[in-house]
Amino acid sequence: MAKSKKRKSSKTSYSQQIAGLATIGMPSPVQQVAKSKWGSKLLLILVPILIASGVITISFSGGLPSITVNKDRAAAVGREVTTEAIKAAEKMRQYGDSQYR
C-alpha cells in the first residue's frame, strides 16, 4: 500500500496578510521578507515600538503615507537599550553569583 504524501498548507497567517498589505509599493525583497512567517511577526511587533519611541514617523500628504526615520532618535534609543541591557546582564550575573555561594 503506497502512502500518500501530505502537502504542507500554503495558507498565510493574518500577520503575513497584513504585512503584505503594509508593504505594497516597496521593493520586492522587502515584501518577501515581510511576508515570511518570522518577518511578518517582527514587522508587526517592531514597527509600533519604533513609532512609539519616535524613531519612525508616518505622515500623510495628498493621501499617500510618507515614512521618515529619525537617525538621531534611533541612535539615542540604541544607546538607551544598550545601557539597559548591560545593567540587566550585571544584575543577572550578581543573581547567579549569589545562587552559588
At 43-90, the pLDDT tens digits run 889 889 999 999 999 888 888 778 899 999 999 999 999 999 999 999
SS (H, E, C) 6-32: CCCCCCCCHHHHHHHHHCCCCCHHHHH
- The mean pLDDT value of the chain amounts to 84
User: Does residue 74 belong to any structural domain of this protein?
Assistant: no
User: Does residue 41 belong to any structural domain of this protein?
Assistant: yes
8 Å CB contact between 47 and 56:
yes
Number of domains in the chain: 1
User: Does residue 47 belong to any structural domain of this protein?
Assistant: yes
For residue 101, the model assigns a pLDDT of 53
User: Does residue 20 belong to any structural domain of this protein?
Assistant: yes
CA distances from 5 to 10, 12, 36, 48 (A): 15, 21, 24, 41
Question: pTM of the full predicted structure?
Answer: 0.62
For residue 98, the model assigns a pLDDT of 65
**C-alpha grid cell, residue 25:** 509599493
User: Does residue 99 belong to any structural domain of this protein?
Assistant: no
Range of the domain at 36: 13-52
User: Does residue 46 belong to any structural domain of this protein?
Assistant: yes
Length, in residues, of the chain: 101
User: Does residue 38 belong to any structural domain of this protein?
Assistant: yes
> CA gyration radius for the chain?
21
The model's pLDDT over 8-20, given as tens digits with 9 standing for 90+, comes to: 556 888 888 888 8
